[in-house]
Each structure stands twice: as structure tokens, then as C-alpha cells.
Amino acid sequence: MKTPLVLFGASGLLGGELLRLLDAHPGLELAAAATRDGGSLSAAHPHLAVAPVAVTFDVANERVLELASSGTVAVAYALPHGESARHWLALRTRLRERGVDANVVVVDLAADYRLRDPDEHHATYGEAHADPEGLHEFVYGLPELQRVAIRGARRAAAAGCFATAMQLAVWPIAAAGLIDASRPLVLSGITGSSGSGAKPAPNTHHPHRAGNLWAYALKGHRHEAELRQTLSTTTARSAAIAFVPHSGPFVRGIHLTAFLPLRAGVDEAKATTTYATCYANEPFVEFLGDGAPDLRRVVGSNRASLGLAVRGATLTVCLTLDNIVKGGSGQALQCLNLMLGFDEAAGLPRCGLGVTG
């Protein structure tokens, strides 16, 4: 018998991607797909072979309560930042009144529960956290770093797209204590237009985006906070972070380049061994050694691909991933698989699309 899943925020790009992935999942079954107005999902996602009938949030809430009364139900939030916490707080209150909140497994694709410290959340997102009590329930949803914690949890906050790329690029060398924390970590990333969401805007309009490239958030990007949180457990915790994101002329994908300062005596052989060992058994991280990844090999898949080189005292790591799969809905599904006891790779594509346009 499959586990039912209720999706809130089904009309957006991440919601549509999660619906696509669920179609091939052996253990999850869509029970309801909710939009604010119950609008047509066939119109929002014509790429789906059979688009589900959308329901309103109120109908989906009642469906969660009904399903939780008789067993386990999964809830996925693909809502704009700030809305997941408000919605989950209200729904959790009703579930607790019935004594069935433990039956609900939750994954949030937004930023609402990623940062453990509510003050850090306020500083990063510019508003007080709507559910500070609920923060302790959520584990950080980056399986390569938090697999054991996710497997034992009932709530996960899927890592952000740029944050996933940055952490996968930096973590192995930082965890090994090989970074010179007196020098800054310098990172540059390029993302596709899907990172801006489904709602049209001047910076995602095709005539403006195609054949164009520009930097933004020059004074700091919010996903840096997730990297700082992860590095807080390493000897690199005091290192300054300088990250500059760019908008690229493509739809899917992130290409990240990280320039990481090395401690004296760390050469390319040591760095290569460190990354190869760290990712040797990871189903969705492909280490290329001194090879250079590109977007075409990973777009459409849940894989991240990375390679490295050392010049003097600087390690350069290049990494690519699909921002709406491994950096979004695929990551959320990977977390659900772990929390629900499924094969971690269930329903997740390993192969890229190859020719993407």
C-alpha cells in the first residue's frame, strides 16, 4: 500500500516538478494537490501526462486530517518563502488537537525552517519567524550531510538551490579541517531563469534573459546563511564568505565555482582524496577528479557533478546541478524517501537530459 501525499503549492515550478517525479514513485501516491484558488493544473503543467485536479487549501487541510487519523501521510510544501510556516503552524495545531500530528511527515521546499536560529532567520529574510516553536522539529534537508538525522526525523527543510551547490562544493575540505580560515571563501554561481519562479517578471522575460548575463545580490545572498550554519561545526567557521550569484541565459541549472583557501601543505592529491572519499558512496554526487562538469550532464537529474584543481594555495571546485531537481523538488523527495523508509533513490532520475535545447 502506498503512502498518501498532499502537496500545497501545486501550481508553481517546484510543485509541477514534484508532481512529475511522483508519477514514477513506487511508494508515494498523490492524495491531493492544492492551490490557493483550486485553479487548473492542466493549464499550469501541460507537460504532465495526467494532471491532477487541483483543490483549495481548505479541502487539502481536511484531507490531511482525515488521512492522519488512520495512518501515515506525507505533506510537501512548495509555497513562497514565509507561507509554509504560517500554514504548517495552523495545520499542526489542528492535528495536535486530534492527537495525530506524529502521523504526518513534512518536507518544506521553502526557506522557512532551514535556519535553526530564529534571529538568524529574521536577519536573513527580514521578518520574524512565524513558527519559532516549530524550528526544533525540522532537520536540515541536505542528505549528503544530514542523512542520519533525516532518516530519524518526521520533518525536513529541504536545502536551498545555491546553498546545496555551495555546501557540496565546500563541505569535504572544510570537514577535513584543510581550509585556511584566515582567508575568505570566494564563490561565484550562475543560475537559470527557473530559479526566479513561475510568475513572469522583467528579469525572467525571455528577450531580456536570452543571450544575457548579470550579477545580483552583490552585498550578500540569503543562501550564504545556510553555508555559515553548516560551517559552524568545522574549523572554517570563522572564514569570511564572499558569494556572488549571476542570472544566466538558460532555464534549468546552476554552475558554481568555489575558490577555497588551503592550509599550508595541502596539495591536489590530498584534496582529490578528500573529495573522493567523502562522496564515494553518494548516489547523487558524481566526483570527476580534475574534470570539469557542465550543465548538460546533470539537467533533468537529481545528480550534482563536481571537479577540482589546485593552484598554489587555492582549491578551485566547479559544481553543476539542476536547481529544481537536486536543488529543489528532487531534494525534497530524497528527504521524504529517507524519512519514510523508502529506497533513497526511489522516483529520482539519475540521468541528465543530454540535449537540452
Query: Active-site positions?
Result: 161
Which amino acid is present at 142? L
Of 265, 39, 228, which is closest to residue 120 (Cα–Cα)? 228
Integer angstrom CA distances of residue 91 from 79, 94, 152, 230:
15, 5, 22, 30
Cell, residue 75 = 505533506
- Range 217-224 contact pairs with CB under 8 angstroms and sequence separation of 24 or more: 217/244, 217/245, 218/244, 221/162, 221/245, 222/111, 222/124, 222/125, 222/160, 223/160, 223/161, 223/162, 223/163, 223/166, 224/166
Which amino acid is present at 124? T
Q: How far apart are CA 273 and CA 167, in angstroms?
A: 18
Cell, residue 338 = 529517507
Cα of first residue to Cα of last residue in the chain, in angstroms, is: 39
**DSSP output for 289-309:** TT----STTTTTSS-EEEEEE
**DSSP output for 202-263:** GGGSHHHHTT--EE--TT--TTHHHHHHHHTTSTTTT--EEEEEEE-SSSS-EEEEEEEEBP
Beta-carbon contacts of residue 294 (< 8 Å; ≥ 6 apart):
255, 320
Q: How far apart are CA 186 and CA 189, in angstroms?
A: 10
